[in-house]
C-alpha cells in the first residue's frame, strides 16, 4: 500500500495538509472534521501531490478516516477513490505521522472503501438489513 510510503521530497508541486491544524484540535474522532479531505482533493485536482500529516493527532477513529479522507458522505461520489484512479492516488497521495495501529487502520479502511466501490448496492443492502430500510435516505 503506497499511501504509507515515504513521500518524495517536498517541492512546489506538493501540498502538505496538517490534519490537526485544519480541524483546530488533535482529536481525530468526528467524521465532520474532514475539511482536510477537501484540501487533499483540491491539491490532487490541481496536479499537485498531497501529503496528509497526522502529527499530534489522537484517537484516530475508523469513522474519521472513512468519512473524512475517503468517503465524505456529504458529497455524492466525493470520495477520493471514486474521483481518482487507484494508481493515481498511490502515486500522488501520502499519509504520514501515523502510529503503527493507526496506519494499519488506514490501510484497512482503504481496502473497505475499494470493496464498497466494487459493489455499492450490496453494501447498501447489507446496511439496510442491519440498520433498517431508511438507512441510506
Residues 27-86 pLDDT 10s: 988 776 665 666 777 888 888 888 889 999 998 888 788 765 665 544 444 577 778 888
The strands making up 93-96's β-sheet, listed across from edge to edge, are: 14-18, 49-53, 93-96
Instruction: Identify the residue with better confidence: 8 or 125.
Output: 125
CA distance 62 to 31: 9
* pLDDT tens digits along 81-108: 778 888 888 888 888 999 999 989 888 8
pTM of the model: 0.78
Q: Which of 93, 4, 98, 113 is nearest to 50 (CA)?
A: 93
Amino acid at each position: 500500500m503506497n499511501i504509507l510510503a515515504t513521500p518524495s521530497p517536498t517541492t512546489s508541486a506538493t501540498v502538505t495538509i496538517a490534519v490537526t491544524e485544519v480541524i483546530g484540535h488533535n482529536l481525530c474522532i468526528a467524521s465532520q472534521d474532514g475539511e482536510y479531505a477537501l484540501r487533499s482533493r483540491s491539491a490532487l485536482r490541481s496536479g499537485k501531490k498531497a501529503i496528509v500529516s497526522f502529527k499530534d493527532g489522537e484517537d484516530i477513529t475508523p469513522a474519521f478516516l472513512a468519512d473524512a479522507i475517503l468517503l465524505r458522505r456529504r458529497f455524492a461520489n466525493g470520495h477520493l477513490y471514486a474521483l481518482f484512479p487507484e494508481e493515481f492516488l498511490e502515486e500522488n497521495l501520502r499519509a504520514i505521522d501515523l502510529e503503527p495501529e493507526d496506519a494499519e487502520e488506514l490501510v484497512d479502511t482503504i481496502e473497505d472503501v475499494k470493496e464498497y466501490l466494487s459493489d455499492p448496492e450490496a453494501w447498501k443492502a447489507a446496511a439496510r438489513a442491519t440498520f433498517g430500510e431508511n438507512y441510506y435516505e
